[in-house]
Structure 1
Amino acid sequence: MPARSATSCCDAWRNDTLNPPLRWMSLQVRLPGCSAMTTIGGTNETYIAVPVAQERSAPSAAPMIATPCGIRERAVRATAYRSPVFSATWARLAGMVEWSDNSAGPVRGAPRAAGGRWHVRSSFALRVSAIAIGMAVVVGCGGSAGSPPSPSQSGAAAGTPTPQPIKVRAAYGNVTPANLAPFYAKERGLFLANGLDVDLSLIDGGGKAMAALLGNSVDIAQLGGTETMSAYVGGGDVQAVTLFVPVSPWVLMAPGTYTGPNDLKGKTVGVASKGGSSEVAANQAIEKLGLKLSDVTILATGSVANLTSAMLANRVYAGPGHPPDTAALFKAGYKVIMDLAAQKVPAVENCTIVTKKYASEHKDVMQKYVDSLVQAIVAMKKDKPGTLPVMQKLLNVTDQDALSETYDYYVTQIFPIYPTVTPDAWNYSRDELAKTNAAVTGLDVTKVIDNSFVTNSQSRKVGG
């Protein structure tokens, strides 16, 4: 922050309240809605940290309002902070600040100088007061008493050191409802409540997300089990620790002019990625229609979103789809020609994937991560109205009917409370994958799955 701005703000603190000009603070607000990021400052780099609500996280994950000033005299004052975003929200900073004239060697007991400053008093007071402010701002941001409590909050209230949340880099490989649990856990602060600061990012395409995991660009990836098996036989030290979609959600769709399987012969069928779950679904559907894989040309489009776009643009004749993408395809005149979802075909559609090295070295992190996912599933199943806005944000879909249909299918019917990695589904998917990737033939799937974290959650009744 520029020294000039820091000084001008500290100059505003000559009274007994921390009430810097809202106009100045508003210039520092970086994010819309329930978000603010500002720096109010002084000179000597000692900080008051005040959490404010963040748009996509629980309050404990919020950006900080940091106040640098030096500590001199210990004449403590109780002050109040008023949120620049929520004008009605006040939170006490009792004991957090002290007056200082910023001069060397102040005489204890002497009257304070006219040009003094308020400064941070102690780390303990900072911790206790920051929690109080965070709780106040939750209300201003629409938080509720039903939000999961943070272990760090209870620790601070008891006077024990507040542990910093552990940073975790995570990614999801496609914009799909199958990735709703981690996205919900991030949006609703469940990761933070369990002590994790998860940076959850989209890497569009399961293959790309797997490459990021193997390249150590992320610690955890949400993607398909078929990509995981392909990576393992290719030398990747990976394993799946959850399975969210144990049955295929796919239907094979074709234009409304489709009359029968012969219409597919010689045509191009699109999939999201080679070796991915969409290709496995396409292969299954083609064979169930009585055709050979050699009767069609398979084209990988790169992601589920690209696949839907390619179908709508008639760059491919047919392709697998699932809600909510199917809503757009139906509107464009496409129809279902093979419904794998209705047949409950086993699948390993979406899993939590890590390297074995990371899992063995960060068992506590992995357990907290899996606990958060279980809690997310339970919360989603209990609260459809509260889940739909999160789903809308994940999918970037505004059609409420499509969102409702997607919720009913995925959350109500498919997601298990405890996302156990079942060997039967993996064996079935391995055999299907072997038709296009011979390297996985005969793979011992127990080498790429680890149920210990889900089992631990279940033994502690994390899901109720």
Structure 2
Amino acid sequence: MKTKWLLVLFLLIASVFGACSKEQSSDGKIKVRVAEVTRSLFYAPEYVAISEGIFEKHGLDVELTTTFGGDKTMTAVLSNGADIGLVGPETTLYVYAQGANDPVKSFAQLTQTDGTFLVARNPKGTFNWEQLKGTTFLGQRKGGMPQMVGEYVLSNHGIEPHKDLKLIQNIDFANIANAFASGTGEYVQLFEPTASIFEKEGKGKIVASFGLESGKVPYTAFIAKESFLKKNAKTAQKFTDALYEAQAWVDSHSAEEIAQSVAPFFQDTPLDIATKVIDRYKSQNSYSTNPILEEDEWNNLQKIMKNSGELPKEVPHSTLVDTKFAEKSTKQ
């Protein structure tokens, strides 16, 4: 974990990070490059903003890239490989702790709960958390939000993750599902739609939701360098306005309508599975209904990080969260 974030710091120091003003495409729209940490139905409002033409309506030409990893997303932002990142806000704390002169700030929240689920290979009767003790648990990457929330929930249920479990955390994010499918672990922490697909294929059963267990937390947010937000304030505002409109669209439409809208982004996921997944996320209020990252959520994030021993140091909400764009969006 430390090696990855030292690499990020090296890029911060060694590269030229000038945040230039955004170029316009041939049709007059402003180009915005967005790097998302993974492709997931958990991020449905982002895809709705593209598929329903909401970004275009606000004069933006959004280019979306999936990076598969929080450190990779942050590296893309720091190296000017992306203008905006979609990732867990904990990454901004790691970079800030390493002495960033141009801090990366969260400016628009997308999800407000954990998005992972506990999948059991061979569930036994009615599930209770005590059943995990003494088992092999295939967890998420150390230092990432899924892992920290997972350990937080386990601790709340009287389980000491590093003592009561055989905890595996050395598998890359993109390979965790494949490792479980190949026979590693009795329990695994998975995002959707993989969890529901595994359930449908008989590879496991969803027995608990980490999102329901952990409560409200700023799980994923759009981030950008402070210099970018200052030099491209109008672009950041347009982006946030579009996101807020997409969030309202998701909040007011059915799971099936949302699944149909985002289907082009999930061509390998059956529509019935996508609908089931989105309905599950909507029912547990995972999708933020506005882009404001509140101070109490930020404090809860740091509490969860501290519980996992991953919090470098406590940082005030105002230092790494810029709410002015989101606040303006919600008042229009």
Q: Secondary structure at the match of 1:308?
A: helix
1:224 to 88, 91, 97: 88
Instruction: For 2:208 and 2:249, locate their aligned partners in 1 and report how far apart those are by CA, in whole Å.
Output: 33
Max Rg structure:
1
1:373 Cα shift? Answer: 0.8
Asked if 1:389 corresponds to 2:257, the answer is no
Asked if 1:375 corresponds to 2:239, the answer is no
Change (3 A) 1:263 1:376: closer
1:387 Cα shift? Answer: 2.5
* Contact 2:38-2:67 at 8 Å conserved across structures: yes
Instruction: For 1:439 and 1:411, locate their aligned partners in 2 and report how far apart those are by CA, in whole Å.
Output: 30
CA shift digits 1:361-408 (9 cap, x unpaired): 110000000111111122233444543233333234432332112222
Asked if 1:326 corresponds to 2:195, the answer is yes
* Contact 1:183-1:200 at 8 Å conserved across structures: no
1:359 Cα shift? Answer: 0.5
CA shift digits 1:61-111 (9 cap, x unpaired): 8xx8xxxxxxxxxxxxxxxxxxxxxxxxxxxxxxxxxxxxxxxxxxxxxxx
What residue ranges of structure 2 are gaps of 5+ in the alignment?
A: 1-24
AA partner of residue 136 (structure 2): K
Instruction: For 2:157 and 2:207, locate their aligned partners in 1 and report how far apart those are by CA, in whole Å.
Output: 9
Q: CA RMSD in A?
A: 2.6
Q: Secondary structure at the match of 1:341?
A: helix
Alignment-derived partner of residue 432 in structure 1? 304
1:284 to 142, 152, 165: 152
Percent identity between the two aligned chains = 19
Higher helix share: 2
1:335 to 199, 205, 208: 205
Instruction: For 1:390 and 1:306, locate their aligned partners in 2 and report how far apart those are by CA, in whole Å.
Output: 28
Equivalent residues in 2 for 1:186-225 (5 A)? Answer: 186-225=50-89
1:181 to 41, 45, 48: 45
CA shift digits 1:435-457 (9 cap, x unpaired): 44454342323311111111101
Q: Which moved more, 1:376-385 or 1:279-288?
A: 376-385
Q: Secondary structure at the match of 1:301?
A: coil
Equivalent residues in 2 for 1:27-426 (5 A)? Answer: 164-236=28-100, 237-257=103-123, 261=130, 263-265=132-134, 267-271=136-140, 273-295=141-163, 296-303=166-173, 305-331=174-200, 332-343=202-213, 345-384=215-254, 385-411=256-282, 413-426=285-298
* Contact 1:185-1:373 at 8 Å conserved across structures: yes
Instruction: For 1:220 and 1:357, locate their aligned partners in 2 and report how far apart those are by CA, in whole Å.
Output: 12
Instruction: For 1:446 and 1:351, locate their aligned partners in 2 and report how far apart those are by CA, in whole Å.
Output: 15
* Contact 2:118-2:190 at 8 Å conserved across structures: yes
* Contact 2:135-2:186 at 8 Å conserved across structures: no
What residue ranges of structure 1 are gaps of 5+ in the alignment?
A: 1-60, 65-162
Q: Secondary structure at the match of 2:147?
A: helix
AA partner of residue 222 (structure 1): L
* Contact 2:36-2:73 at 8 Å conserved across structures: yes
CA shift digits 1:279-325 (9 cap, x unpaired): 0122123213322132232314333x532222222233322224322
Q: Which moved more, 1:405-414 or 1:234-243?
A: 405-414
Q: Which of 1 and 2 has higher RCO (CA within 8 Å, sep 6+)? A: 2
AA partner of residue 277 (structure 1): M
Instruction: For 1:398 and 1:250, locate their aligned partners in 2 and report how far apart those are by CA, in whole Å.
Output: 17
- Matched length: 299
Instruction: For 2:143 and 2:154, locate their aligned partners in 1 and report how far apart those are by CA, in whole Å.
Output: 16
* Contact 1:323-1:405 at 8 Å conserved across structures: no
AA partner of residue 155 (structure 2): E
Instruction: For 1:396 and 1:308, locate their aligned partners in 2 and report how far apart those are by CA, in whole Å.
Output: 18
Q: TM-score, normalised by structure 2?
A: 0.80
Show structure 1 runs of 4+ deviating over 4 A.
Answer: 257-260
